[in-house]
């Protein structure tokens, strides 16, 4: 049986750090006299259990008008820079690797993002900076939003099942701050402003014919599952308008998760004769406090199961696709005993879910 493994992770925190109270004040300044009952709505900043978030641009950027063209040019430049950074961190991370892995040895690269548009896609620009082979397979994935990190791991798993000698990178970069619309007075925009942030992460996934020594147990991928909900395009996503990307964020998301996630995960785990009670490491994308509460309700989990996800949410907010990889990194840094079982889960536009079953092995 071919069982690919996650060998290393690298993450990057963008340079401009703001406390949640700072962001709330800036939002109040920008939307004052434009949104009715603003003070009441601003409580979403305090109730979200987020303390700090990081952004790729300074606070004054949000006070100015920006065209879609300007936003996207900035996205291309910074997404390329951040991708180079996280790839290098991933391939040289001494917490996981005894020796550096060269980009020349990478067989395929999945680039995952939903917050900007680029053709050629970002990984092509990265491959002109770092010494990748000119035969490296490129697989850009766009539009999966918060589900993108888990889906990228799933697709890399599929690739390594087909090519067990392969070393594959999954690179996730989201610059949610560049999509901020100061002239959008909808509640969705306000909720998005209270929640989303910027981040980048990279994981190295290897087929089981790849041999190199590691001093720790690492998560091996036993399987993956996907699920999609009919007629749910309005649950979350983007409205593309002249000024750029406008967030669509339904208030029904926690209720949908509570009703829909449980049957999906129970059916997925049953394929491996497992149940949620057997999960040691719950590697959940922290979409928000209510989303984590819905995970617990749907799968009968405790806050201990979601503690790492809550810490990432508290320190970084929701960075869309990379966020679950930040959570994964924290679980990989722990000293996990062999046979520790993990479940990596993320949800995104579509409405859709992605689940990856993990087992830590020598």
DSSP string, 278-297: G-SEEEE----HHHHHHHHH
With the C-alpha atoms ordered 127, 129, 132, 134, is the resulting torsion angle positive or negative?
positive
Show me where the domains of the chain are located.
Answer: 5-206, 218-361
Q: What is the pLDDT of residue 299?
A: 87
Q: Which pLDDT score, from 0 to 100, does residue 26 have?
A: 87
State the residue for tokens 């703001």.
18
| pLDDT for residue 150 | 97
Whether 202 is a known active-site residue: answer: no
Regarding beta strands 281-284 and 341-348, do their DSSP bridges make them parallel or antiparallel, or are they unpaired? Answer: parallel
d(CA 338, CA 353) in angstroms, rounded, equals 27
- Buried-exposed string 160-196: b where 16+ CB fall within 10 A, e elsewhere: bbebeebbbbbbbbbbbbbbbbbebeeebbbbbbbbb
Whether domain 218-361 has CATH 3.40.47.10: yes
CA distance 327 to 311: 9
C-alpha distances in Å from residue 36, one per residue of 20, 46, 135: 21, 19, 56
Does CATH number 3.40.30.10 belong to domain 5-206? no
Q: What is the pLDDT of residue 128?
A: 95
pTM of the model: 0.95
Tell me what percent of the chain is helix, strand and coil, each rounded to the nearest 5: 40, 25, 35
Rounded CA-CA distance 72/117 in Å is: 7
Distance CA 347, CA 345 (A): 7
d(CA 52, CA 38): 21
- The pLDDT, as a whole number, for residue 256 is 81
The structure tokens listed for 355 are 């689940």
Residue 213, pLDDT score: 78
pLDDT of residue 221: 97
Same fold? 5-206, 218-361: yes
Quick one: pLDDT at residue 357? 97
**What integer pLDDT is reported at residue 205 of this predicted model?**
98
Residues of the chain with pLDDT under 70: 1
Instruction: Say how many Å lie between the first and final Cα of the chain, rounded.
Output: 16
pLDDT for residue 341: 95
Of 56, 90, 146, 172, which one is the catalytic site residue?
146
Q: What pLDDT, on the 0 to 100 scale, is given for residue 2?
A: 72
């Amino acid at each position: 049986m071919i069982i690919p493994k996650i060998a290393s992770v690298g993450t990057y925190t963008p340079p401009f750090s703001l406390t949640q109270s700072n962001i709330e004040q800036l939002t109040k300044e920008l939307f004052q006299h434009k949104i009715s009952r603003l003070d009441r709505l601003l409580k979403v900043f305090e109730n979200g259990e987020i303390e700090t978030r990081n952004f790729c641009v300074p606070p004054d950027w949000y006070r100015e008008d920006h065209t879609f063209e300007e936003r996207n040019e900035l996205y291309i430049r910074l997404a390329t820079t951040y991708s180079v950074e996280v790839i290098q961190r991933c391939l040289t991370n001494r917490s996981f690797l005894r020796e550096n892995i060269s980009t020349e040895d990478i067989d395929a690269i999945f680039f995952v993002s939903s917050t900007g548009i680029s053709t050629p896609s970002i990984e092509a620009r990265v491959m002109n900076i770092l010494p990748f082979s000119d035969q490296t397979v490129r697989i850009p994935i766009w539009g999966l939003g918060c589900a993108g990190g888990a889906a990228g791991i799933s697709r890399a798993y599929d690739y390594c099942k087909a090519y067990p000698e392969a070393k594959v990178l999954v690179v996730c970069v989201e610059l949610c701050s560049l999509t901020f619309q100061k002239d959008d007075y909808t509640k969705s925009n306000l909720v998005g402003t209270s929640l989303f942030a910027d981040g980048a992460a990279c994981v190295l996934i290897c087929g089981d014919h790849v041999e190199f020594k590691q001093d720790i147990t690492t998560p091996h991928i036993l399987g993956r599952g996907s699920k999609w909900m009919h007629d749910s395009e309005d649950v979350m996503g983007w409205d593309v308008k002249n000024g750029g990307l406008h967030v669509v964020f339904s208030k029904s998301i926690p209720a949908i998760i509570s009703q829909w996630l449980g049957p999906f995960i129970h059916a997925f785990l049953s394929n491996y004769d497992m149940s949620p009670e057997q999960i040691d490491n719950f590697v959940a994308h922290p979409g928000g406090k209510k989303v984590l509460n819905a995970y617990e309700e749907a799968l009968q989990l405790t806050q201990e199961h979601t503690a790492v996800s809550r810490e990432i949410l508290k320190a970084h907010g929701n960075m869309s696709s990379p966020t679950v990889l930040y959570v994964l990194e924290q679980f990989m840094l722990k000293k996990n005993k062999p046979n520790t079982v993990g479940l990596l889960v993320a949800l995104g536009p579509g409405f859709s879910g992605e689940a990856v079953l993990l087992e830590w092995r020598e």
